[in-house]
């Protein structure tokens, strides 16, 4: 398909067919010139095989994980966000999840986080989605509420003072931080107010309304953020949830907020569009949320039409003891995948090498690799992994001359 002529030349773009990151057989000339060692492996490594997710198809199994950029004011996306997410799409990422986006103003982590609590946010997000689609990327967004970890300073200010608390003068909301229970994360965060039943219902409705806006913006996927000590995670864990009503105490009660929120979102989110949920699979604290709890929750959520569970860990208690190392969280994605038929999983956590990413998917430990900081370090991670695995993939038309040769010749 040739590039279109458009009425407004400012809107011109080159059609990418197939799109960047798609595995394609090299031509004889490409092999002769040294751009490929030979035909693609047969079978193709699973990480470069397409993945069907309800009504959309990811061209490969690479997902750009949500990463807070602290680059918004009043929740609005900017040219920074457009260029930030576009760089991964241009270089072949199959799925991109836009960073944690507040469903309410007080649901942001910092005053500089993205938002989706009002219709005016849709236009900027739609612009991002439109650009990602031009490069064949499945566009997703993570819907979030920060709970007791809200009203904090942006990351770039960490270390400049003792407290992480953002004041009113800095755009914070000290008197509107709330959580399942009135327990602060630590002395550097505000002590939240315990949520009333009415507040719980308001937040649940905010997630539903945000899902409607995400659909209007054109997103293919939404991910509910139930990890890293933010609101939905706070309800799940007995370390942060000391309630004595229907939303605290037993496993059934502590998971009620998550299950009801998922149910509400799924009702308004189109059936043909997949729904992801991100969880911290363990608190890494004795007596806290555990992998067994995560498996039990996944068995519930798969029946609520959740398609993918992203398995991160930690973030809910400063006493956590995390055994950091390459792929240290992959085991949790594997545990869910093995014990919950029908639930796909995304592995996340210190996935930095192409062969490592390929092995995770190839061995069936997870269906998707959700990569964060490595994409910041190397936006071409999909392309470099293809080289590592001897897979020829389509490059963005405009960047093809940057493709490195396997061998050099005068052809």
Q: What is the DSSP letter of 30?
A: H
How far apart are the C-alpha atoms of 182 and 10, rounded to whole Å? Answer: 52
Residue 342, C-beta contacts closer than 8 angstroms, at least 6 positions apart: 302
383 contacts: CB under 8 Å, gap ≥ 6: 21, 91, 92, 393, 395, 403
3-state DSSP assignment of residue 355: helix
Q: Which long-range contacts (CB under 8 A, 24 or more apart) does 249-256 make?
A: 251/293, 251/296, 255/297, 255/300
Nearest-CA neighbor of 141 among 117, 125, 120, 124? 125
> Is the distance from CB of 298 to CB of 236 less than 8 angstroms?
no
- State the sign of the Cα–Cα–Cα–Cα dihedral 24, 28, 33, 34: positive
Q: Is 70 a catalytic residue?
A: no
Q: Which residue among the candidates 70, 230, 247, 408 is catalytic per the annotation?
A: 230
**How far is Cα 288 from Cα 316, in angstroms, rounded to an integer?**
9
- Quickly list DSSP for 248-311: SSSHHHHTHHHHHHHHHHHHHS-TTS-EEEEEES--SSTTS--HHHHHHHHHHHGGGT--EEEE
SS3 354: helix
What residues have CB less than 8 Å from 358, skipping those under 6 apart? 45, 46, 47, 385, 388, 389
Smallest Cα–Cα separation from 144: which of 219, 198, 203? 203
Catalytic residues: 230
């Amino acid at each position: 398909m040739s590039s279109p002529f458009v009425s407004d030349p400012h809107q011109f773009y080159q059609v990418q067919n197939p799109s960047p990151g798609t595995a394609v057989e090299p031509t004889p000339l490409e092999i002769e010139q040294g751009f490929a060692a030979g035909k693609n492996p047969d079978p193709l490594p699973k990480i470069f095989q397409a993945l069907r997710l309800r009504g959309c198809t990811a061209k490969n199994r690479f997902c750009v994980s949500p990463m807070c950029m602290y680059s918004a004011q009043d929740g609005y996306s900017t040219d920074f966000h457009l260029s930030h997410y576009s760089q991964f799409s241009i270089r072949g990422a199959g799925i991109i999840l836009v960073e944690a986006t507040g469903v309410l103003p007080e649901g942001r982590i910092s005053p500089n986080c993205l938002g989706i609590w009002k219709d005016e946010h849709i236009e900027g997000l739609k612009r991002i989605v439109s650009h990602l689609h031009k490069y064949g990327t499945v566009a997703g967004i993570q819907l979030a509420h920060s709970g007791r970890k809200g009203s904090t300073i942006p990351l770039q200010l960490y270390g400049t003072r003792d407290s992480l608390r953002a004041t009113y003068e800095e755009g914070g909301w000290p008197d509107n931080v709330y959580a399942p229970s009135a327990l602060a994360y630590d002395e550097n965060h505000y002590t939240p107010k315990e949520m009333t039943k009415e507040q719980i219902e308001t937040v649940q409705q905010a997630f539903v309304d945000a899902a409607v806006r995400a659909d209007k913006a054109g997103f293919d996927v939404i991910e509910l953020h139930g990890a890293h000590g933010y609101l939905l995670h706070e309800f799940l864990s007995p370390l942060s949830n000391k309630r004595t009503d229907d939303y605290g105490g037993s496993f059934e009660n502590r998971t009620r907020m998550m299950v009801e929120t998922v149910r509400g979102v799924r009702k308004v989110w189109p059936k043909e569009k997949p729904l992801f949920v991100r969880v911290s699979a363990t608190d890494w604290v004795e007596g806290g949320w555990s992998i067994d709890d995560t498996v039990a929750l996944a068995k519930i959520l798969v029946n609520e039409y959740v398609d993918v569970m992203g398995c991160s860990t930690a973030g809910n208690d400063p006493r956590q003891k995390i055994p950091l190392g390459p792929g240290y969280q992959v085991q949790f994605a594997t545990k869910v995948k093995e014990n919950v038929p029908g639930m796909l999983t995304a592995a996340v956590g210190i996935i930095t090498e192409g062969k490592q990413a390929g092995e995770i998917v190839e061995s069936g430990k997870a269906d998707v690799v959700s990569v964060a900081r490595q994409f910041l370090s190397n936006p071409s991670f999909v392309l470099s992994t293809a080289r590592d695995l001897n897979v020829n993939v389509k490059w963005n038309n405009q960047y093809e001359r940057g493709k490195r040769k396997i061998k050099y010749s005068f052809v």
